[in-house]
Amino acid sequence: MNRRLDDATTVKTHSESDKARAETESTQVTTARGLVAEIRAMMVDQRETYEGQIQAMQEKSSAQIESVRIQHQSDMRAMTERMAGIEGAFRRHSEWDDRATAALRQTQHDFPDPPPVKFDS
């Protein structure tokens, strides 16, 4: 009878050990699943944060490019206006140079022509 009792105790002990091992593994699986879920949530949050930062930087970059483009257009208009003013002044001065050269040649026949001025277009 002691032997049967020992065998029964052994079977019961093994069963309890198996049950405890199964419960431990179940707890570990639950913990691992929880960690995986937390990591996924963190990755989603991080991706959303990065995408937001990228979008903000793209918007800032686009705004800077637009600002530079507008400034460039303004500068080009100002330079075109200035060049037109310089060319107009040159034409008016050129007429004066021609009259002055003609008047000087009346007394100094070998007076040279004024040097040419070229505007590169």
Least confident of 7-11, 61-65, 68-72, 112-116: 7-11
Q: What is the CA radius of gyration of the chain?
A: 47
81-119 pLDDT, tens per residue?
999 999 888 888 888 888 999 999 999 989 888 888 777
CB contact set of 98 (below 8 Å; sequence gap of 6+): 114
pTM over 0.85? The answer is no
Most distant CA pair in the chain, distance: 154
Which residue type sits at 66? Answer: E
Q: Specify the pLDDT at position 74.
A: 96
State residue 62's pLDDT score: 94
C-alpha distance from residue 81 to each of 28, 56, 111 (Å): 78, 37, 35
pLDDT tens profile 4-18: 767 778 877 888 888
SS3 117: coil
